[in-house]
Amino acid sequence: MPDKFIPYGRQCIEDDDIEAVVEILKSDWLTTGPKVSEFEDKFCSFAGSQYAVAVSSGTAALHCAAFAAGIKPGDEVIVTPMTFAATANVVLYQGGIPVFADIEPDTLLIDPEVVRQKITSRTRAIICMDYGGQPCDYDELKAISTENKLILIADSCHSADASYKHTPTGTLADITAFSFHPVKHITTGEGGMVTTNNPDFAERARRFRNHGITTDHRQRSEAGTWYYQMIDLGFNYRISDFQCALGMSQLKKLKKWVDRRNEIAARYNRGLSGIEGLKILRTKPDRLHSFHLYVVKIKATEFGMNRNELFNFMRKNQVGVNVHYVPVHLHPFYRKTLGTEPGMCPVAEETYEDILSLPMYPTMTDEDVEYVIKTIWKAKRKA
């Protein structure tokens, strides 16, 4: 057994990252300074988008997207149940109604056919999520949005640097949200980004980040004026300059880290093939996966142990497996507020019983990966 616990995800902070932050701590601007727009510009060129708005978290990015999309009380928004609660919560923040559309069992991505069935005259938007780091079926989702005059929002918190038919995440939907939480591909501690090619959406997101005020502190300082107007009810979703300095430093390493994640995934694929009752998720051929998560499905009857038993076995053996996610519509808050219940998304509910996320982060060594594989084989032999 290794002397250390192998977590399911972990940040990588190196000396140059630390130096970048310290430099800004000594500068004039701790927040709303030049690093914020530098980070936004860098992120635009990386994601291929025309606009980027840096915010305080991935959740804030999703909320800005929901606001920019004009989601208002009574609007229905179609969302995936197989996601972190924030994806659907932002619809509720706007007074909208999340409508859950079931997923495909082999990719865990929202099923475009089910999305179609959920559209009503009150539907305003779709929020899809690139589960695990694999982009959704954007051609289909875009066609549905266009036909029905809906706005397509991508929760790409799992999929920085992934691509769909050679287009990187960031412009595949009308508005995209990214997260820089420490378990994500790059980190700013807490942080997020909104990307879009639509200037109105960008402007609305930018205002929403700063209380709905038309100019920020630095713009007024440079223009030598004190006057400002608040024209929307926004929030304080600003991110600091030292976080953006960290983000710029991390962004340089993103490609290298995503390559490493793909190497680890390939190693898992090889090492876990042939285990009866263990299935790996399918990656569709027209897209590049960025492996925020590496998820396997455990069929209890064939594996000989159910997911919960395997979870406990792995944790006892120092492997930090996890489960992503409890379907959002099953959370007590949703059941109480929206009246959602088991049976509404049968594929997501069934899949939830079987899924297990294995450790996946770029600084994992080959030995760590081999140890995880070996431990699963050991569980299988014991079962």
Ligand X SMILES: *Cc1c(COP(=O)(O)O)cnc(C)c1O
Residue positions annotated with a catalytic role: 184
Does the protein bind ligand X through residue 185 (CB under 6 A)? no
Least Cβ distance, residue 59 to ligand X (angstroms): 3
Q: Which of 233, 199, 289, 299 is nearest to 72 (CA)?
A: 233
Least Cβ distance, residue 348 to ligand X (angstroms): 14
Instruction: Give the chain's count of helices (H) and strands (E).
Output: 15, 13
Alpha carbon 337 to its chain's center: 25
Does the protein bind ligand X through residue 289 (CB under 6 A)? no
With CB under 6 A, what is the number of residues at the site for ligand X? 14
Q: Which of 17, 27, 35, 13 is nearest to 239 (CA)?
A: 35
Does the protein bind ligand X through residue 89 (CB under 6 A)? no
Does the protein bind ligand X through residue 261 (CB under 6 A)? no
Interface with ligand X by CB under 6 A: which range of 11-19, 82-90, 257-265, 360-368? 82-90
Asked if residue 293 lies in contact with residue 303, where contact means CB atoms within 8 angstroms, the answer is no
User: And the tokens for 236?
Assistant: 């304080």
User: And the tokens for 249?
Assistant: 């430093």
User: And the tokens for 144?
Assistant: 């549905």
Instruction: Say what angle helices 34-47 and 241-251 make with each other, to 10 degrees.
Output: 30
Q: Please identify which residue in 54, 86, 88, 103 interacts with ligand X, judged by CB under 6 A.
A: 86
In this structure, what DSSP letter does residue 224 have?
A: T
Does the protein bind ligand X through residue 192 (CB under 6 A)? yes
Nearer Cβ to ligand X (58/277): 58
Does the protein bind ligand X through residue 157 (CB under 6 A)? yes
Does the protein bind ligand X through residue 133 (CB under 6 A)? no
For ligand X, the binding residues in 34-73 under the rule CB under 6 A are: 57-59
Does the protein bind ligand X through residue 155 (CB under 6 A)? yes
Least Cβ distance, residue 96 to ligand X (angstroms): 17
- Residue 347 backbone dihedrals phi, psi, to 5 degrees: -65, -45
Nearer Cβ to ligand X (89/249): 89
DSSP-assigned beta bridge partners for residue 298: 278
User: And the tokens for 239?
Assistant: 């991110």
In this structure, what DSSP letter does residue 210 have?
A: B
Does the protein bind ligand X through residue 87 (CB under 6 A)? yes
Least Cβ distance, residue 80 to ligand X (angstroms): 9
- Contact residues for ligand X, defined by CB under 6 A: 57-59, 83-84, 86-87, 129, 155, 157-158, 179, 181, 192
